[in-house]
Chain A
Amino acid sequence: MPDEHNKETMGRAPGDMDRRQFFIKLGATSLAVAGVGACVFGVQYLSPSVLYEPSPIVNAGMPEHYPIDSVTLDPRYGIFVVRLPEGFYAMSAICTHLGCLSVWKPEAGVIACPCHGSSFQRDGKVIAGPAPRPLPWLKMWTSDEGSLMVDRGSPVPSESEYVRA
């Protein structure tokens, strides 16, 4: 009814909204806030706050278990413990391409990834394949009891220093 509409809108500036528009905007804003809130809560709920994953710090055993000039893979933790005459270092065994577990091939003297054929030198440098980065060296130290300790969550610069034990 145009007359009624005119009556309703009479006495309002052109920019003012009527009651219907106000409630539509209020409803849409409430839905938007609820939607964003639901997304935030959803992402928080889906991200576990407590993880039952192995600790990043692992005990790699006593130094005398590793022969000199050896590369030893510990598949439980995904690390290499390398012993050279100069000392020890630890390296991640997780291929930098797509996360497969690489292995030491003593006959070829290289570290090889079975998934997509990347290969690495004993110090982690890439020889071939799609791996974009060298295998990271990991923080290593000896505990008070003399065990070799490795922190898988703390990469250190390659060839930084050898651990003497």
Chain B
Amino acid sequence: MPNQPKTSADGAIRNPLIALARWGEEFKEIFTARVSERQLGFRYTWYLGALTLGTFTIQISTGILLMLYYHPSIPQAYADMKDLHFAISSGMFLRNLHRWSAHAMVLLVFLHMAKVFYRGAYRPPRELNWIVGVFLLLMTLLLSYTGYLLPWDQLSYWGTTVGSNIMSSIPIIGNKLRFILLGGNSVNANALIRFYVLHTVILPLAVILLVVIHLWRLHKDGGMHSEPVEKSGEKP
């Protein structure tokens, strides 16, 4: 039996390539339902969701590298940003990659949503995935907003001041929300550390959780393929 993997007496696979392939098969079973290749193809998706996930991966990897040199404190934040730009090897490249990838991510999320919308792929049974996607859009915008303050320059300071004042116009709870977000009455040291924690820990974890749910529902409910779905004998 030439195709049979070589196993030892205890049943373990000795060929590492075959062992890897088998583990890969096991990971595939995380998703209990299969999604057809056609539904994930370029014709239906333009790969916009995958590209968005790609930019998010760039954000995580470049973000972790930027964290190694950035201190979220008023005396150091601006100087660290300048160091990253002018003193640290490849710092300018990493920071610009982080920045342009962030812009691309926002753009791709919008395009992805537009594509889903115009294909009608938000309709049952995919409505839950559409709602998860809306929350992912919200998280993306919050990530952009919290990252905006971190260079601690004039633009970021006043941008955050304006943004937080927009929040305080929410009736009744607006001022309290602004106070909690900033950790005070104005954009200062508390606001910087809060935005840093939101930007580097809380929001990325929320995005990862939502992306996992998004992919799980993609496999369960199908992708952008918008052929009429039979549900209770009716065609929507």
Q: Return the CB mask of A85-98 against B: 1 if under 8 Å, else 0.
A: 00000000000001
Are A48 and B161 also in contact (CB < 8 A) when A53-B184, A53-B185, A98-B166 are?
no
Q: Is A98 a contact of B180 with CB atoms below 8 Å? A: no
Residue B162 lies at the interface, judged by CB distance under 8 Å to chain A: yes
Interface size of A by CB at 8 A reads 12
The answer, among B161, B164, B179, B189, for a CB contact under 8 Å with A47, is B179
- Which single residue of chain B is at the shortest CB-CB distance from A43? B180
Q: Is A100 a contact of B180 with CB atoms below 8 Å? A: no
Interface residue ranges of B145-166 to A (CB < 8 Å): 158, 161-162, 164-166
The answer, among B165, B186, B188, B190, for a CB contact under 8 Å with A98, is B165
| Contact residues in B for A98 (Cβ distance below 8 Å) | 161-162, 165-166
Interface size of B by CB at 8 A reads 16
- Which single residue of chain A is at the shortest CB-CB distance from B185? A53
| Contact residues in A for B183 (Cβ distance below 8 Å) | 46, 48
The answer, among A43, A48, A99, A101, for a CB contact under 8 Å with B184, is A48
| Contact residues in A for B185 (Cβ distance below 8 Å) | 51, 53
- Which single residue of chain A is at the shortest CB-CB distance from B178? A99
State the main secondary structure of chain A at its contact with B: loop
Q: Is B162 a contact of A48 with CB atoms below 8 Å? A: no
Are A115 and B158 also in contact (CB < 8 A) when A46-B180, A48-B184, A98-B165 are?
yes
| Contact residues in B for A46 (Cβ distance below 8 Å) | 180, 183
| Contact residues in A for B190 (Cβ distance below 8 Å) | 48, 51
Q: In the assembly, what is the distance between CA of A43 and CA of B185, in Å?
A: 16
| Contact residues in B for A100 (Cβ distance below 8 Å) | 158, 161-162
Q: Is A52 a contact of B162 with CB atoms below 8 Å? A: no
Q: In the assembly, what is the distance between CA of A92 and CA of B195, in Å?
A: 27
Q: Is B166 a contact of A51 with CB atoms below 8 Å? A: no
Q: Which 8 A-B pairs have the closest CB atoms?
A: A99-B165, A98-B162, A98-B165, A46-B180, A99-B161, A51-B184, A48-B183, A47-B180
Residues of A participating in the B interface, judged by any CB pair closer than 8 Å: 43, 46-48, 51-53, 98-101, 115
A48-B183, A53-B188 are known contacts; what are 18 more A-B pairs with Cβ within 8 Å? A46-B180, A47-B176, A48-B184, A51-B184, A52-B189, A53-B184, A53-B186, A98-B162, A98-B166, A99-B161, A99-B164, A99-B165, A100-B158, A100-B161, A100-B162, A101-B158, A115-B158, A115-B162
